[in-house]
Structure 1
Amino acid sequence: MIALLGFVTVCTAVILITKNKMQPVPALILIPVITCIAGGFGPQLSKFIVKGILEVAPMGTMFIFATLFFGIIIDAGTVDPIIKKIFKIVGRDPVKIVLATGILAMMVHLDGNGAVTFLITVPAMLPLYDAVGMRRTTLATVIALSAGLMNTEPWAGTAQRCMVALKLTTDQLWVPLIIPFVVGAISILLIDYKLALDEKKRLASLPNYQAHLESAATTELIYEVSEEKQKTARPKCFWFNVILVLSLIGVLVSGKISPVVAFMVALTLVLMVNYPDVNEQKERMNAHAKNALLMSGIVFATGALVGVMSGTGMIPAMAQVLVNIIPNEFSRYLAVFVGIISMPLSLLFDPSSFYFGVLPVIAEAGKSFGIPAAEIARAAFLGQMNMGFPISPLTGGTFLLVALAGVGLGEHQLKTFPYAFLVTIIMLVVSIAIGAISI
């Protein structure tokens, strides 16, 4: 009965969210409340939810300060000089243009926000692609691959969901995957190089290729900064901001200081140095408060889901059902199987549904087979709404990307899916080789 109630809770929340019938926050709160009462646990409902909220509080708080910090770093124009330098180096060579696009997207995605990445990189590079005669689908694919990899940052939404759902720390989830991520970045740049050579070969075969070259030669490569951004830019603080970001990343990787404390201190420093005026500080905080509260609200709402499902015993009961179904000879490969299907599952599950509804059940089943929950999490984290997010129809970022690039969703998915899946598998193999995922 408890297992059935758990599956009803998960499936109902997943369907309502994926079908866009309810937003994640009300779905993640209301559904477990209803099933908890229906299961006869009404008197304990408050205790379950409060306990769940307390467990996710550090993660939710960290996300608030992380979103504010990186938003202000971008407001201060920290990435603009780097982008301009890349533009000067690129020239009109398709190979350099594609590689610069990939690197630029990785840099801009520092704040973990796909929409910001697409809004900056696509308009910046699209005129050049058009002038040279390069395909817009190549632009969309290159940006998608870079954004997908960088979406694995420990302060981004998927990492937060994954760590909250399974009660993991950055050191447990993310640090063991640093080498696979580095290999993934190299793989993406190699794919970018291959796509660039394809473009160069295609352009060379065109009868009017010389005209394309002449057209490109008349296109001035400039990265324009809007007047609004110029008002908030603080070029004199560039090196301070760069050192602060690098120091923060080093602290997060070391695991010596709590991430929420690190981001709180970093936010304080970046505000005081870049915007010493109190009113300016208030304006910058207000500018990013919406994004910070929106995602942290989802994190805290999941506290209700996780608290109810754990307190009522739904998760272990559901896991036991899966244990009884999975053949013993297959059990040792559960994490590998999750890693293989993680990226394609981005087409079926949005991040909240997967990480808060599906992953905890799989992880609990894995424990029965002696597989640590952290390894299941790492396997899923490689692809699910990371490498898979820029092609998923369940996120607004994908539609923003294809709209800005002027390509069809199906066309974009058809070209990008094989490469995104390949990078996911490469990172999975590396993870197995270094022991981050065992078999």
Structure 2
Amino acid sequence: MLAILGFLMMFVFMVLIMTKRLSVLTALVLTPIVFALIAGFSFNRVGEMMISGIEQVAPIAVMIMFAILYFGIMIDTGLFDPMVARILKLVKGDPLKIVVGTAALTMLVALDGDGSTTYMITTSAMLPLYIMLGIRPIILAGIAGVGMGIMNTIPWGGATPRAASALGVDPAELTGPMLPVIASGMVCMMVSAYVLGRIERKRLGVIELKQPSHTNETAAAVEDEWKRPKLWWFNLLLTLSLVGFLVSGKVNLTVLFIIAFCIALIVNYPRLNDQRERISAHSSNVLAIGSMIFAAGVFTGILTGTKMVDEMAISLVSLIPEQMGGFIPAIVALTSGIFTFLMPNDAYFYGVLPILSETAVAYGVDKVEIARASIIGQPIHMLSPLVPSTHLLVGLAGVTIDEHQKFAMKWAVLAVIVMTAFALIIGAITIF
């Protein structure tokens, strides 16, 4: 019964947001509440599940909210202007080069393993170019989301350590054969970016950038009011120090961004009125993304607390026919994206994956192959509305999450298919 309600809840949720009957925020909150009550849980118990889910995402939400404020301040001060100017000079107004460069930058920055950092740096650097050249921002969001999903399978990414610990396998044994598979995903992403870049080049042409006209000189002057060219080196060193601490992992991310934001705000805008103005300028984005993350916490809290996610996993595993036992690694690879789209990574790797592994072992499949297969679906996972950093990405890019999913899903599925096929070819996972 719980499994049926769980699948029905997911279906209703997706229909509601895809058809725009409800906003993502209200659908994330109301849908699980209704289905939990239908399942027979008391309102008080549902409330406890909601609080539990909110408590789990609270540190992430606070970190992302202050990160938005920090990078917003850095954009206001003009920190990224020289970078944008150099890139424009290099690409000479060619949308193809911009789009391919986005893919390369995403996967380079994603080496730190953190989605929020990757999205903030990539969008801060590339979005002004997209706007200036007229390239659709949905392409930036799609490439960043799918690219981060591919890189989430690196040894220190979000998925691989979970898979290794959940099944008790040697991380080196898990990741060694997967490195070529990850490389195949990166190549797929670059080819996809090239295709999208060609489409934009055909639509826009190679654009000759011109100096601002008199009609927008006033707007430029207003914007320049917040620039801080004399503090450029300070802002650069502050940002590089922040990124260095982020990569080191020695300091809590939330603490880092709170402190960095306060320092950046005080140094760049000493006057209290200016500080209020800058916070107000970015407050709508902060509120929208922060509330969305807390709403996702409500959804996952109820999904986990009602045990719907456990029953859904058991029911799906039971659907695997006995004669398909030897194909379980490939099945896990192709379905891991679906599982992790519908539930958080922790729920999948610590709840669903052990069940899949035990089933596979019964058919003579080594559990390390199941661990390898389980991480391949991450490009799809990173498009899920249950991933907090996804809301950060769409907020920064200025697109809605349903638009992002519709655009990026086909490229994410392509990456998963390519990675699965390559894993089978090189023997990282096998079928018999």
TM-score (norm 1): 0.64
Preserved contact between residue 170 and residue 252 of structure 1 (Cα < 8 Å): no
1:320-331 matches, cutoff 5 A: 320-327=314-321, 328-331=325-328
Shift of 1:5: 2.3
| Equivalence for 1:98 | 96
Deviations 1:66-95 (A, max 9, x none): 221222221221111111122333447x6x
CA RMSD of aligned residues (A): 5.1
CA distance in 1, matches of 2:68, 2:288: 10
CA distance in 2, matches of 1:331, 1:313: 24
Describe the shift of the 1:244–1:113 C-alpha distance in structure 2 as closer, same or farther (beyond 3 A): closer
CA distance in 2, matches of 1:258, 1:179: 32
| Equivalence for 1:53 | 54
Q: Residue type of the partner of 1:70?
A: F
Determine whether 1:366 maps to 2:343: no
1:6-21 matches, cutoff 5 A: 6-21=6-21
Describe the shift of the 1:420–1:26 C-alpha distance in structure 2 as closer, same or farther (beyond 3 A): closer
Shift of 1:172: 4.9
Determine whether 1:70 maps to 2:71: yes
Describe the shift of the 1:72–1:291 C-alpha distance in structure 2 as closer, same or farther (beyond 3 A): same
Shift of 1:106: 7.2
CA distance in 1, matches of 2:229, 2:342: 39
Q: 2:253 aligns with which of 234, 259, 264?
A: 259
Describe the shift of the 1:45–1:195 C-alpha distance in structure 2 as closer, same or farther (beyond 3 A): closer
Determine whether 1:36 maps to 2:30: no
| Equivalence for 2:391 | none
| Equivalence for 1:4 | 4
Deviations 1:73-132 (A, max 9, x none): 21221111111122333447x6xx632454378779965499988863344225xxxxxx
Deviations 1:314-351 (A, max 9, x none): 11111110110124333333442146x67xx9xxxxx9
CA distance in 2, matches of 1:240, 1:186: 37
Count of aligned pairs between the two proteins: 368
Q: Residue type of the partner of 1:87?
A: L
Larger mean Cα displacement after TM superposition, 144-153 or 19-28? 144-153
Describe the shift of the 1:428–1:312 C-alpha distance in structure 2 as closer, same or farther (beyond 3 A): same
Determine whether 1:270 maps to 2:264: yes
Preserved contact between residue 77 and residue 229 of structure 1 (Cα < 8 Å): no
Q: Residue type of the partner of 2:31?
A: I
Shift of 1:10: 2.1
Structure 2 SS opposite 1:257: coil
Preserved contact between residue 9 and residue 35 of structure 2 (Cα < 8 Å): yes
CA distance in 2, matches of 1:188, 1:233: 35
| Equivalence for 2:111 | none
| Equivalence for 1:380 | 377
Structure 2, unmatched stretches of 5+, are 107-116, 163-174, 358-366, 385-393
Shift of 1:47: 1.7
1:11-410 matches, cutoff 5 A: 11-42=11-42, 43-91=44-92, 98-100=96-98, 102-103=100-101, 112=120, 120-126=128-134, 147-151=141-145, 172=161, 219=208, 221-222=210-211, 226-327=220-321, 328-338=325-335, 354-356=341-343, 360=347, 364-370=351-357, 378-384=375-381
Larger mean Cα displacement after TM superposition, 51-60 or 7-16? 7-16
CA distance in 2, matches of 1:312, 1:115: 37
CA distance in 1, matches of 2:409, 2:295: 32
CA distance in 2, matches of 1:179, 1:58: 34
CA distance in 2, matches of 1:277, 1:51: 40
Preserved contact between residue 84 and residue 222 of structure 1 (Cα < 8 Å): no
Shift of 1:305: 1.9
Structure 1 SS opposite 2:333: helix
CA distance in 2, matches of 1:26, 1:252: 33
Deviations 1:108-166 (A, max 9, x none): 9965499988863344225xxxxxxxxxxxx55xx766543434698xxx99xx9xxxx
Shift of 1:424: 5.8
Preserved contact between residue 100 and residue 194 of structure 2 (Cα < 8 Å): no
CA distance in 2, matches of 1:2, 1:16: 21
CA distance in 1, matches of 2:262, 2:268: 10
Structure 1 SS opposite 2:225: helix
CA distance in 1, matches of 2:230, 2:73: 15
Structure 1, unmatched stretches of 5+, are 127-138, 163-167, 203-211, 346-350, 388-394, 402-408
Shift of 1:191: 6.6
Preserved contact between residue 149 and residue 185 of structure 1 (Cα < 8 Å): no
Describe the shift of the 1:195–1:381 C-alpha distance in structure 2 as closer, same or farther (beyond 3 A): closer
Q: Percent identity?
A: 26
Preserved contact between residue 383 and residue 409 of structure 2 (Cα < 8 Å): no
Preserved contact between residue 105 and residue 147 of structure 1 (Cα < 8 Å): no
Shift of 1:25: 2.0
Shift of 1:368: 0.6
Preserved contact between residue 78 and residue 242 of structure 1 (Cα < 8 Å): yes
Q: Residue type of the partner of 2:246?
A: L
Q: Residue type of the partner of 2:68?
A: T
Q: Residue type of the partner of 1:55?
A: Q
TM-score (norm 2): 0.65
Structure 1 SS opposite 2:376: helix
CA distance in 1, matches of 2:303, 2:199: 51
Shift of 1:37: 2.2
Shift of 1:197: 9.3
